[in-house]
Structure 1
Amino acid sequence: MKANKISVVIPAKNESLSIANTIEQIYAENIPGLLEVIVVNDGSNDDTKVVAKNAGATVISHPYSKGNGAAIKTGARQAKGDIIIFLDGDGQHKPEDIPSLLKKLNDGYDMVVGARQKGSQASIGRSLANKFYNGLASYMTGHKVEDLTSGFRAVNANKFREFLYLYPNGFSYPTTSTMAFFRAGYSVSYHPINANQREGESHISPIKDGIRFLLIIFKIGTLYSPLKMFLPISGSVFLTGCCYYLYTFITMGRFTNMSALMFTTALTIFMVGLVSEQITNLMYKD
């Protein structure tokens, strides 16, 4: 059995303060099979490109900022290894955890995610949001999802590339890739990690985070089984309509427009979920 070749891909935007240390730590781990360290410079306006190159990485530069997901896709296309390790260039992820992720991947998994432990989240709000994501994703997939949004992961390169067309250019590529792997029947596992506080300025804003929160919820549903999310909503609206109809029948002896609206809404939500389910099946037909 031939030894796996490993590529490390680091998306980076204005990370000149931390990128050199991250690259040096990766090389210091003496990872067997390490083929290359690729830094995708996503339109930085600081010295990220020069610093990364001087630290020994192969640097691919976007002419302007396209987003974290776009950088991930660029790196995945260029990576020559059988296995790709993705980690952030802001100093949050510890290269010393890479061997543990690889060990678990070699146990037969197709993706191993570094699951951030208590105290590793950027803020209380982010921590609560991630707990909600994890709970919803666990319900949708029927498997325990320990960290849906962690960007630190080891993947089978060929299987990861199967879903490049699904990955967004923004920040939710971890959600999309995890749900896609589950939906395709690939094996996903988790390894506990403790993340550092990032160095430099965060690229996340509260408003964008709020919009991202809503989009990720919809992505979780539409990328796995939309009907599983739409059906409970439809059932709740239908049950509310039944209760309201019972109330108006007892008190007024008639069927009201509000009850009719609730029944119609419940049917519409169910049909949207059913159509979405068929579309999702087509997405994974190959």
Structure 2
Amino acid sequence: MSRQQRDALDAMLRSAPRSQTPPTVEEQRSGFAAAFAGPAPQGIVTRRTVLGGRPALELEPAEAVGPGRLLYLHGGGYVIGSPDTHAALAGELARRAGLRAVSVDYRLAPEHPFPAAVDDGLAAYRELLERGTGPEDLVLAGDSAGGGLTLATLLAAREAGLPQPAAAVLFSPWTDLTLAGESMRSKAEADPIFTEADIRAYADLYIGAGDRANCLASPVLADLTGLPPLLVQVGANEVLLDDAVRLAGRAGAADVEVTLEVGPSLPHVFQHFYDRLDEADAALDRAARFLDAHLSTAGRRAADHLEPAH
């Protein structure tokens, strides 16, 4: 893979201006939207819809075949971001996997603090099941806070007695609002995007004076027993590196099938930079293959279960 591409991306990210005074929430939202909002990849039809009582964006690739569905939960520290800022990333994953996808506009903090986002994630998941999507045909994915929210949604579904989906993919998941991971400090110089103070500020807005060790806020601290197969992709140059590494360790200890991929010299949610970064394209291809493999396996298991005895 290209060291030149990685170095150029790191330089670009470091060149982003930093305000001397912390930006307001609205300034953060508008700036993030300006940087990331864009159309879905070519060949994907998008539709506005409602899922779980929240606005949502459907993304349907021309390559989509069969009943498989992807529920995508966007990143943004639980404070910024939307399906529109992540239409390119969610759409590209859906396109490569050949899946119809839906990205949910869950409620954001500080107007709607924890557990509003988890409630919305669970409501979206529940409605997909109620509409007739079998759990063996359903997969989840999310990035950053959306990765943590994906895990929290799975945990909330388990506690609600709902079946687990076929698999989930997590890009640079934020899984620990207590900020206990050593990489929060050891990767401070390597991370071109975030500082520990940045992450703490998002946590303050999301959970305030609440319990940051709550398992639905910090799912790395939860009992992960019974979760579906997980693929976790993270960059080595992230203050959130340990959120992914510790998650993979705890999932494995709980007998969950988990694959951890750490990309050398890569930043937070590097998959955003597909078509410009070889590692991003390769990671999305692996994620698509992972989802396809587990949908196929779960579908076969469901078919075997329904097959009448002879």
Name the larger-Rg structure.
Answer: 1
The structure where helix makes up a greater share of residues is 1
TM > 0.5 between the two? no
- TM-score for the superposition, normalised by structure 1: 0.30
